[in-house]
Structure 1
Amino acid sequence: MVSAALPAVAGGQSTVPSQTQQIVYDIPAESLAAALKAYAEASGVQVLYETALTDGQRSAAVKGKLAPDIALQMLLAGSGLISRHTDVDAVAILPAPRAETAAAMPQVPPDARFLGALQAGLLDTLCRSDETRPGAYHVGVQFWIAPDGVVQRSALLGSTGEPRRDAALAGALGTIAIRALPPPGMGQPVTLIITPRSPAEGDECGGR
């Protein structure tokens, strides 16, 4: 299943309300990648990010009984990164936008028409190969899209757990054809989440 999430906006505040359930955290100041893994295990939240974002980064310590959103904000303090909900139990880690850029160029969310075209284009591309065919893996993908609808850049958020599949996906993402134009001023990147399907839900590729 391919689902959509709104792109990051100025200020880094999530549009999803903070989770109210409090969890006990005991995460020391350590490498950011290790801290995010510890956070994900404690929270039950899937954390999606490009590994390059955490290279050389260290986390702030997080200790105490906290709501997951608050704990993640504390963890990322000083890193230049923000979190963005992509699903109820998944967040993407993104670079914080520059304040002056965000102020000069207000961002708008992608509309349903464009998201539908992007999802259809993604499925058309992934269904061409058994290696990238969705249904058995979970991964986030991001797109930076030009005003004419051409994908300028794409990235995987995390891993499917299979390096060969990851490489095939990375190669396929840049070949997507989107049969619609993005709305003017659309925020970038646009995040989509590919999730597994049960046998009862059938083959998402259908007649593709």
Structure 2
Amino acid sequence: MCPDTPALAKDAGEQTSAAAQADRLAGERHAYALPAQPLGDSLEAIGHVAGVAVLVEERHARRPAPALSGRYTVLEALRLLLDGSGLRIRKTDGEAIVVYEPAASATPAAPVAAVLAAGDIPGARSGAADFSAYIGRVQKALLRSLCGNAAARPGAYRLALQLRVDDSGQVSRLRLLDTTGSARVDAAVTRVVQGMDVGAPPPMGMPQPVSVLLLPGGANCPAARRPAG
């Protein structure tokens, strides 16, 4: 994608696919039989059954969630799980759902990580395989790259994205699932991450794309060095 291309621009095929995915989330029903467990585990199970990434901050993923049994659409299942929690759902472009706490009710004193814990990323564990270590490596490379660019520097925006890493360890495809609210920042993130070198190829069998949620707040980047003088 060239630097001047809007980060969220989609061709007609992508728009049709996103619309179909959105209809599927609201219309298709799936059978769920989830025990009472941490919220992150329930959200990952719902996403796995429905084939969609459900992203949530680590601090919320540790909350207890009630048992869920029955046939529901993805959105119905999520609303039942989140009832009374104060958390909300934001659909992106049909490829992912972000579970978040509205800013007005967030606790300012609570430290917020820049990204989800690697183990909480959908696809980090697949069967007996655990890809958390590599996904953690992807996250570190992502933050290092973003922190090195003034226009893309994280900390002031929330953004869900998906990326694919090729056999050379470089990001071969990037998709912003929503927007930071600024076309300039969206474009800067796209320029920085597209082609980013992770430093190692992905392990065999790792599910892709990798979903990442960048979060506002917290000590995301080291402080800029002041010139000596």
Normalised TM-score (structure 1): 0.50
Unaligned 5+ segments in structure 2 are 1-42, 56-60, 69-74, 80-85, 103-126
Q: How does 1:168-187 map to 2 (within 5 A)?
A: 168-187=188-207
Find the aligned partners of 2:224 and 2:197 in 1 and give their Cα distance.
18
Find the aligned partners of 1:47 and 1:88 in 2 and give their Cα distance.
8
Q: Quick check: 1:110 aligned with 2:131?
A: yes
Shift of 1:47: 2.2
Letter in 1 for 2:88: V
Query: 1:127 maps to what in 2?
Result: 147
Q: Quick check: 1:163 aligned with 2:183?
A: yes
Q: Quick check: 1:45 aligned with 2:66?
A: no
Find the aligned partners of 1:186 and 1:107 in 2 and give their Cα distance.
12
Letter in 2 for 1:12: G
Q: Quick check: 1:188 aligned with 2:227?
A: no
* Matched length: 139
3-state SS of paired residue (1:183): coil
Pick from 196, 204, 207: which aligns with 2:221?
204
Identity of aligned residues (%): 26
Query: 1:62 maps to what in 2?
Result: none
Shift of 1:196: 1.2
Computed over aligned residues only, the root mean square deviation of the Cα atoms, in angstroms, reads: 4.4
3-state SS of paired residue (2:206): coil
Q: 1:111–1:183: 8 Å Cα contact kept in structure 2?
A: no
Q: Quick check: 1:137 aligned with 2:157?
A: yes
Q: 1:108–1:187: 8 Å Cα contact kept in structure 2?
A: no
Query: 2:51 maps to what in 1?
Result: 12
Higher relative contact order (CA 8 A, sep 6+): 1
Query: 1:32 maps to what in 2?
Result: none
Deviations 1:116-169 (A, max 9, x none): 221121112111221100111111111112233221211112111111111111
Cα distance change of structure 1 residues 88 and 197 upon mapping to structure 2, 3 Å threshold: closer
Find the aligned partners of 1:160 and 1:152 in 2 and give their Cα distance.
22
Unaligned 5+ segments in structure 1 are 23-34, 54-80, 91-105
